[in-house]
Structure 1
Amino acid sequence: MKIELLKEKNVDIALVSSDEKVIVDTQSALDLAMTVKYETGTNKIIMDKRNISDEFFILSSGMAGEILQKFINYHIKIAIYGDYSGYTSKPLKDFIYESNKGKDVFFVSTLDEAVDMLTR
């Protein structure tokens, strides 16, 4: 896993990248958040959706809700970028839509959009 610190509009953002899944369960998500906070001092994370377990995007698994609740409790803001067009689940589409209206969790198509969401 690689953590790169971006500075955009005077805001520090951690760009997390990896050749493998980084978030596979709640504990790995918390480990990521704390590692980012410790190594970069920021609470803003951007990552590619390919680095997140597919189970996260199956809302009935409860994984997304549990992880995102932990992130909110620890004041972690995250923007996850990637292609969401392959998902047909209406609850997931609604979840993404509602998340994007908030201020803590964003699901966007590109890295640039992710940066924009975390620097508003």
Structure 2
Amino acid sequence: MTDVLEQRAGVSVLVCDPAGPTVTTIQDALDLVGAAFLGAKAVAVPAGRLDESFYRLRTGFAGEVMQKFVNYNVRLAVIGDIAAHLASSSALRALVEESNRGRHVWFLPDLDALDARLAALA
């Protein structure tokens, strides 16, 4: 499977292939934003495609990636189980809780949860 543009809850979403390249640099994140400009309003990235440094907040990588998506007005949904990361970082837990209250960056268990979130915005 490759990254695919899908209509989900009436919103164009770039659904990223779990087997795709790992997002390890800001340029990798910008490449996803650029791919979204082909018609997507959101990007659903499997949690496993994000480099481990994303989940270690002291690196600053998560903040930089999230800021790129916000700056370009493209929603970012991190899809999948990140429980192991949450268990080892209260700061990450706080970031996830805060992000999930907003409208731009979400951490969700699966695409069904993304559909529900997008439908609630309509």
Normalising to structure 2: TM-score of the pair? 0.88
Residues 21 and 54 (structure 1), Cα distance of their counterparts in 2 relative to 1, 3 Å cut: farther
Contact 1:6 1:15 in 2 (8 A): yes
Aligned to 2:70: 72
Contact 1:80 1:106 in 2 (8 A): yes
Contact 1:33 1:43 in 2 (8 A): no
Aligned to 1:36: 36
Structure 1 unaligned blocks of 5 or more: none
What is the number of residues matched between the two proteins?
118
Residues 20 and 6 (structure 1), Cα distance of their counterparts in 2 relative to 1, 3 Å cut: closer
Normalising to structure 1: TM-score of the pair? 0.89
User: How big is each residue's C-alpha offset from its partner over 1:88-116, in whole Å with a ceiling of 9 and x where there is no partner?
Assistant: 20000000000000000000111211232
Q: Which moved more, 1:106-115 or 1:13-22?
A: 13-22
User: How big is each residue's C-alpha offset from its partner over 1:43-79, in whole Å with a ceiling of 9 and x where there is no partner?
Assistant: 2111210011010010000000011111101101011
Identity of aligned residues (%): 29
2:83 alignment partner AA:
S
Contact 1:46 1:115 in 2 (8 A): no
Aligned to 2:19: 19
Provide the C-alpha distance between the structure 2 equivalents of 1:95 and 1:86, rounded to a whole number of angstroms.
15
Stretches of 4+ aligned residues off by more than 4 angstroms: none
Give the alignment partner of residue 53 of structure 1, picking from 48, 51, 54. 51
- Give the RMSD, CA atoms, in angstroms: 1.5
Structure 2 unaligned blocks of 5 or more: none
